């Protein structure tokens, strides 16, 4: 799927530079998904006139995954395997669709049987950090039924490693 953004097309009208790689994308699609991109392209920011926009500090694979989750030709689902990559970008670029899908994904994960303490703490941490209300409420309820000492130890491992 990386090929989707690696070459210019008749629909691409802006180039994002991520990890020194070019991503050929469409301003309208980015603007519809993200108020941050909308402001960048339509306000008096310098990017309004630029043909290439560098996004320093972003990882190419994470940004690709992010785009694939809201771009119309892919609409890749947010799942437990990609939520850690796409959620910080959804927060930064205010893509509410991905935040809602992340909340639903984490809520679904919480409903699975045999949820490990590590996974519960990880979900709780993500839900709290990104204000995902449904997953946060459910994970807090579930954590209340588990051993504090065990969860505290897992929390230190999950959040500080």
Measured distance CA(128)–CA(42) in Å, rounded: 32
| Pair 62, 110 in one domain | no
Q: Which domain holds residue 119?
A: 96-161
For residue 152, the model assigns a pLDDT of: 77
Q: Give the separation between CA 108 and CA 13, rounded to whole angstroms.
A: 37
> 53 with 107, same domain?
no
SS3 state at 18: strand
Which helix (H) or strand (E) segment is 69 a member of? helix 60-70
Q: Residue 17 has which token pair? A: 């530079």
Q: Is residue 67 part of a domain?
A: yes
Please tell me what DSSP assigns to residue 78.
Answer: P
Q: Based on the domain organization, do 54 and 117 belong to the same domain?
A: no
130 closest CA partner among 102, 107, 111? 102
pLDDT at 136 over 90: yes
Q: What pLDDT digit, counting tens, does each position of 37-92 carry?
A: 999 888 765 555 678 999 999 999 999 999 999 999 889 999 999 999 999 999 99
CB 68 within 8 A of CB 96: no
Tell me if 141 is assigned to some domain: yes
User: What pLDDT shows up at residue 31?
Assistant: 95
User: What CA–CA distance (Å, rounded) separates 158 from 14?
Assistant: 38
Please give the tally of structural domains in the chain: 2
Task: For 2-44, write each residue's pLDDT tens digit.
Answer: 578 999 888 899 999 999 999 999 999 999 999 999 998 887 6
Domain CATH number, residue 43? 3.30.710.10
């Amino acid at each position: 799927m990386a090929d989707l953004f690696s070459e210019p097309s008749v629909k691409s009208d802006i180039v994002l530079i991520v990890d020194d790689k070019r991503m050929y994308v469409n301003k309208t699609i980015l603007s519809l998904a993200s108020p941050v991109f909308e402001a960048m392209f339509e306000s008096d920011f310098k990017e309004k006139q630029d043909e290439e926009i560098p996004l320093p500090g972003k990882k190419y694979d994470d940004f690709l995954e992010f785009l694939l989750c809201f771009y119309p030709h892919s609409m890749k689902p947010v799942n437990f395997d990609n939520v850690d990559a796409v959620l910080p970008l959804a927060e930064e670029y205010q893509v509410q669709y991905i935040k809602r899908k992340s909340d639903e994904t984490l809520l679904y994960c919480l409903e699975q049987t045999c949820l490990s303490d590590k996974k519960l703490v990880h979900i709780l941490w993500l839900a709290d950090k990104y204000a995902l209300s449904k997953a946060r409420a459910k994970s807090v309820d579930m954590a209340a039924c588990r051993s504090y000492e065990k969860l505290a130890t897992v929390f230190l491992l999950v959040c500080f490693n």
